[in-house]
Structure 1
Amino acid sequence: MLRAVPAPGAPIVRFASFREFCPFYLGQHRNRTCRRLHVPGSGAERVLAALGCGYGFAWVGHFLFEHNRPATFSHPPYSFAGAWMMFVQVLRGRLPSQPPRAGYTRCIPGDRVPQGAY
């Protein structure tokens, strides 16, 4: 029977590669409920880490460079969507180097913005 915690003084098994480690790891997860609990746990772990990392960089940009309060604090869902929209536009080379002028409301992807409108 496998023990959840190694016996005191038991040697720690060393693995040379993930290929060697994988059978051991799967052997530690034989219980169906345990395996199923890993799925939401691992997903939540990655989401929280990604949000923390992503928002951490963004907040540093706002506090140190923009000198303003991130929209995440007052409009979290819109801010999240806006960050992804801006990310996609940057990757596509469609985000202008200058911000929109005051009162300009067209920023949804697919909007046709005249050259030099910003």
Structure 2
Amino acid sequence: MNYRNLEEFWAFYVSQHSKPLTRRWHFMGTLSGILCFLFAAISGWWALVLAAPLLAYGMAWYSHFFVEGNPPATFGYPFWSLLCDFRMFGLMLTGSMDREIKRLGKRPVLQVF
């Protein structure tokens, strides 16, 4: 499916993260990645920059394969998926993700492939 803008993709992205445990794995992965970057910048231990995407994507992909049961949206839309992951992280951090899910309403679960 082709999405005309990020907001259209966002609705799809949220539908692919329907289970709270999937969103929690994503949150922990994104947080781990951010902390790796911050620690690398503070400590000068730049090898940690390589660990950041491994942790972030590893946790997110685990959640898709073993919790949600769908392919990661990253496979079809890598840049938009990254932006939406940060958006979901921010909404979860502020406690607004449940409200966003309700705002979007029930959407059909579409597959990337």
* TM-score bracket, shorter-length normalisation: 0.3 to 0.5
What TM-score does the superposition give when structure 1 sets the normalisation length? 0.46
What TM-score does the superposition give when structure 2 sets the normalisation length? 0.48
| Structure with larger RCO (C-alpha < 8 A, sep 6+) | 2
Larger Rg: 1
| Greater helix content | 2
